[in-house]
Amino acid sequence: MSHYGPNQPPATQPDERSTPPAANLETAHPLIVGRGVSVHFNLQSAIVWEAARHERTKIVIALDPVEAVMFWQDSGRHVRHAASQPHVWVVPAGTTHRVEWRGTAGLVVLYVEPYFVREVCDAEIRDGQVADLRILARVDLLIWKLTGKFRELCHGRQPDSPALVEAIGTLLAVQILKAHLSGKPSEEKRRAGLSAKRLRHVTEYIEAHLRDKLSQRVLAQEVSLSEFHFARMFRISTRYSPKEYVIRRRVLQARELLLDGKLKVAAVAAEVGFCDQSHLNRHFTRVLGCCPGSLVPGIEHDYP
């Protein structure tokens, strides 16, 4: 196992994309080289990704629960972060890093060219960060859709074409980079939003109680805040009011149940906390742009 220290030069490669990290040769998909974003994906088993430093910003995405330990250098500090749930790791260009991947899970690695980072972010990515993919996907519908596509690709449930892989990889890189920067634009805004612990607690509470009446008062009590302060801090952290966030989570859960095909639309509405089918129809169409009936198995539709 390789370890790096302040006096140990990192490993280098002429082009790190030519040897995607943690590749299972028997199942690995070929690297898709794009103009701004190159994409590697795989159903990855346990492996140690040796210490390296590369010229591109790297986005490593664990699509499924997996034990992983990440190490990197950040502003001269040595950072260690352990994760067991789906996560996103942003590694700035020029950052020494390595990872110990201790299970099997869908893996996506996006290699982002420096000029692409500047055009998308109008800024440089300077700090490494690990984020909970579940929270990102709950807040950003597009991240939820795109990681779902990659999960299907990793598990072989959808044929992969280079054009499709590059397109969804590029879109996903854009959304993650924007979330990375918006997540910490200033110290003042960090203090104004919910702490990571409170945000994780309240979003997990919402997921577990979608059928229940989730008023702003109930959610505020869960994190020991007044309604006013909770609503303001929640919007800063998620970009949605508590009410709108709950509606969107109910809609997305309804989508999963409809695609599963075991419940009728009216039953799905009750299962996720809507008053009735018309209530579900109205919000479903507003959020997803199609009616619930279009997702019932056996009916043709073009929504992803």
Sorting pLDDT into bands at 50, 70 and 90, what band is 236?
Answer: confident
Query: Is residue 304 over pLDDT 50?
Result: no
Sorting pLDDT into bands at 50, 70 and 90, what band is 205?
Answer: very high
Q: 188-294 has which CATH code? A: 1.10.10.60
For helices 242-260 and 196-208, the axis angle rounded to 10 degrees is 50
Whole-Å CA distances, 285 to 30, 137, 206, 273, 303: 38, 19, 21, 16, 12
Beta pairing, strands 77-83 & 57-62: unpaired
Closest CA to 112 of 100, 104, 103, 121: 121
Q: What is the pLDDT of residues 80-132, one digit of tens each?
A: 999 999 999 999 999 999 999 999 999 999 999 999 998 888 778 888 889 88
Show the CA angle centred on residue 30, arms to residues 67 and 15, nearest 5°. 85
For helices 114-121 and 162-182, the axis angle rounded to 10 degrees is 60
Lowest mean pLDDT among 42-46, 63-67, 72-76, 167-171: 72-76
Tokens of 174: 């854009």
Spans of all domains in the chain:
16-185, 188-294
Q: Which amino acid is at 21?
A: P
Instruction: Point out which residues pair with 11 in neighbouring strands.
Output: 52
Asked if 147 contacts 172 with a C-beta cutoff of 8 angstroms, the reply is: yes
Which residues neighbour 26 within 8 Å (Cβ) at sequence distance 6 or greater? none
Q: What is the pLDDT of residues 249-298, one digit of tens each?
A: 999 889 888 888 888 899 999 999 999 999 999 998 888 878 888 776 54
pTM: 0.66
Give the homologous superfamily in CATH for domain 16-185.
Answer: Jelly Rolls (2.60.120.10)
